[in-house]
Amino acid sequence: MVYSLPEEVLEHVFSFIVSDKDRNVVSLVCKSWYEMERWCRRRIFVGNCYAVSPSIMIRRFPEVRSVELKGKPHFADFNLVPEGWGGYACSWIEEMSKAYPWLEEIRLKRMVVTDESLELISTSFKNFRVLVLSSCEGFSTDGLSAIAANCRNLRVLDLQESEVMDLSGHWLSHFPETFTSIESLNMSCLGSEVSFSALERLVARSPNLKTLRLNRSVPLGKLSTLLHLAPQLVELGTGAYSSGIRSDVYSSLSKAFLGCKEIKGLSGFWDVDLSYLPAFYSVCSRLTTLNLSYATIKSPDITKVISQCPNLQRLWVLDHIEDSGLNALALSCKNLQELRVFPSDMYAADANVTLTEQGLVSVSQGCTKLQSVLYFCHQMSNSALITIAKNRPNLTCFRLCIIEPRTPDYLTHEPLDIGFGAIVKHCKNLNRLSLSGLLTDRVFEYIGVHAKKLDMLSIAFAGDSDLGLHYVLSGCKSLKKLEIRDCPFGDTALLANVAKLATMRSLWMSSCAVSIGACKILSQKMPMLNVEVIDENGTLDSKLDSCLVEKLYVYRTVAGPRSDMPGYIWTMDRDSSSRI
């Protein structure tokens, strides 16, 4: 019956289908649906910029308005991917500039973006609205100047954790005086000072500004000025949150916060000065998001703040919160959905910071809506993990980092297999999991059996043998991204599950036991996979098949081998291995 519907009607129906997955399914129904769907697809998400080429995307989806691209592997965040690896945005932007004059949104993550590309963006798309550069690099404030000067309808400029070369703080003054459309501006990653007068004028003339995240160089004294100009702000990232002892700063700041009736999210707090914390207490009751992860304040002070925030849904904080602070969180924030606790010291346990598994157990008991956890600590036990799993079967994301690799259960000195096993067993909707601590192949057996919805798995310093990897690859039906470092997983497991790799987005293995010979076989068996070996040290002997590879990145692609590889990447030629 639906087949008889006119195209216009069907297109209208399709427009209500938002999720990428559902759209993909729709396009598989029949040829005519495929045709109709591709003409009315407005949003594209490409999880790996090398999995498809811009020309293929443009050929199939000619009327796109919004593109989201991801570049480097996730481990690039932790400096495991050498510089110059790739993830260049320029070819995409060039082709899109020709094909999509009506493009409105570009969101890039972990990509290299040049100033030229930013200039091209600023001049090619007439109705450009959203630019999100998340953990990107390669551009400077000059590129931002071009965006500011030319994108007259820009609504969102978000430079989240990007590395921007700070050539000038005056890029903000390139926004024309007639420009009033900005809704969200995140420049928290910028290192140098921005022109405050330009910022002030921009904020003053932007009635729709809802999100403003300042960088560290904006002094606290100026914050109240900005808040007075933009009382409609919903998300605020402060600059430096200290200003000597000046009562006028404090009083004007607390007055300014009083006027902000919409604020729901707070972040920033660089160089925080405790005495200024109460200035924002007036907005605490409305807060749903609080990021104190750059604020080095001690547990009692954190506790004071969060006890004022009953509606908190997301909290990011340093381990200075300690168990006591997490207990308080469990009692006062019943709507908490996401908790991230970062280490204040990357390597050594600070004797003065008491953050153990107990804090997380408390939160799992008290916060019944908790779904997402990122937790760095120094000790863990199986019993604690089992309690957490039983308390919070609704967890979808569980990332636990016990900082010292291969730490056993500190009570029983046994591996943490049972604990993580309980997590995957009880949390049926778990889609992201990061493992740490002492783990044997057993935990991977649990994961393979239970974690059917797992989408992304990170493994470090774990497992005993190939069996571990085999459990995961053969068991986790939904697995898309698998990243492994320093595990004794090797050829057998990899080659036994080659077909699985074609269903995944990517596999990263570094410091494992995979040989170059296995990489060659993998590449031969699965021509749709790009098998890239990263050999930074120049130690790889490609003729010696038993030679172990240092870093391996495998991903499926319809675009064939990429052309922008640096010299230290080896690909497996289909016939024989050769260096490109």
Category of 213 on φ-ψ map: left (φ > 0), alpha (ψ -120 to 50) or beta: beta
**What letter would DSSP give residue 112?**
B
For the CB of residue 393, give the shortest distance to other proteins in the complex, in Å: 26
For the CB of residue 479, give the shortest distance to other proteins in the complex, in Å: 19
Cα→Cα distances 131→68, 104, 127, 377, 548, Å? 10, 9, 12, 36, 41
> Which one of residues 219, 405, 488, 561 is an interface residue with other proteins (CB under 8 A)?
405
Cα→Cα distances 38→15, 30, 102, Å? 11, 12, 16
Token reading at 211: 């999100």
> Which one of residues 97, 140, 308, 344 is an interface residue with other proteins (CB under 8 A)?
344
Token reading at 236: 């605020």
Nearer to other proteins, 183 or 357 (CB): 357
Contact map string, positions 527 to 546, toward other proteins, x by CB under 8 A? ---------xxxx-x-----
463, 439 Cβ separation under 8 angstroms:
yes
Nearer to other proteins, 110 or 425 (CB): 110
**What letter would DSSP give residue 523?**
H
Nearer to other proteins, 193 or 262 (CB): 193
Contact map string, positions 67 to 106, toward other proteins, x by CB under 8 A? --------x-xxxx-xxx----------------------
> Which one of residues 116, 404, 464, 573 is an interface residue with other proteins (CB under 8 A)?
404
Interface positions, 449-468, toward other proteins (CB under 8 A) = 458, 460
**Residues that contact other proteins, how many (by CB under 8 A):** 45
Nearer to other proteins, 82 or 231 (CB): 82
Contact map string, positions 238 to 277, toward other proteins, x by CB under 8 A? --------------------------------xx------
Contact map string, positions 284 to 303, toward other proteins, x by CB under 8 A? ---------xx-x-------
Residue 301: half-sphere exposure toward Cβ, Cα within 13 Å: 16
User: What is the rounded CA–CA span in Å between residue 463 and residue 453?
Assistant: 21
Q: What b/e sequence results for 243-281 when a residue is b if at least 16 CB atoms lie within 10 Å of its CB, and e otherwise? A: beeeeebbebbbebbeebeebbbbbbbbebbeebbbbbe
Q: Roughly what angle, to the nearest 10 degrees, separates helices 417-426 and 382-391?
A: 10
Nearer to other proteins, 27 or 434 (CB): 434
User: What is the rounded CA–CA span in Å between residue 239 and residue 223?
Assistant: 8
Contact map string, positions 551 to 580, toward other proteins, x by CB under 8 A? ---------------xxx----------x-
Interaction of residue 519 with other proteins, rule CB under 8 A: no
Beta-carbon contacts of residue 310 (< 8 Å; ≥ 6 apart): 285, 332, 333, 334, 335
For the CB of residue 477, give the shortest distance to other proteins in the complex, in Å: 26
* Phi–psi pair at 248, nearest 5 degrees: -65, -35
Interface stretch with other proteins, choices 173-181, 256-264, 361-369, 401-409 (CB under 8 A): 401-409
Nearer to other proteins, 105 or 550 (CB): 550
For residue 524, how many other CB atoms are within 10 A of its CB? 14
For the CB of residue 403, give the shortest distance to other proteins in the complex, in Å: 5
> Which one of residues 171, 175, 280, 342 is an interface residue with other proteins (CB under 8 A)?
342
E-only strand ranges, 297-429 = 314-318, 338-342, 372-377, 397-402
- Considering only CA atoms, which of 237, 289, 285, 245 is closest in space to residue 261? 285
The site for other proteins (CB under 8 A) is made up of 75, 77-80, 82-84, 135, 161, 163, 189, 270-271, 293-294, 296, 342-348, 376, 401, 403-405, 434, 458, 460, 485-486, 511, 536-539, 541, 550, 566-568, 579
